[in-house]
Amino acid sequence: MRCDICLYQASAGVAGHQTRNCPIRKVECRHQLPKDDPFYLSGPCRNVYCVHNECCPRCLMIGHTTYTLKLTSMRWKVTTYWRAVPEASDTMPPLDSRDFVCSLVTDRCVRRLLDNVQDLAL
């Protein structure tokens, strides 16, 4: 079993987690993206629990959390039902700071986050 978001590959006999249960699955609000973005959804976001209402504790900006993922065509695709799903590829590089909305997230923070996520899966 392999997670397409954090790329965690569970060993035999280890529970691990699937993509739908990945602890860092939170992505930016598609309603708040620029209109020319392929992931843009028109209309207002009606989800009161959406990430666009949250405040990042690292940079103190409203609209994302510390570990909100960017929707990029390298890592994500849009299905025929307009859902954003992770791109499943064996050649996908590991997550780095460019994959996160918060500009204050460093590669070191990402490595630490991935280590913690993978330790939780054991």
Task: Note the pLDDT tens digit of each residue in 14-46.
Answer: 778 888 889 999 999 999 999 999 999 999 999
Domain coverage including residue 65: 1-122
Examine the pLDDT at 111 and tell me if it is beyond 80. Answer: yes
Neighbour-count burial of 112, counting CB atoms closer than 10 A to its CB (0-12 exposed, 13-18 middle, 19+ buried): exposed
The pTM assigned to this predicted structure is 0.88
Task: Please give the tally of structural domains in the chain.
Answer: 1
Q: Which two tokens stand for residue 46?
A: 């009606």
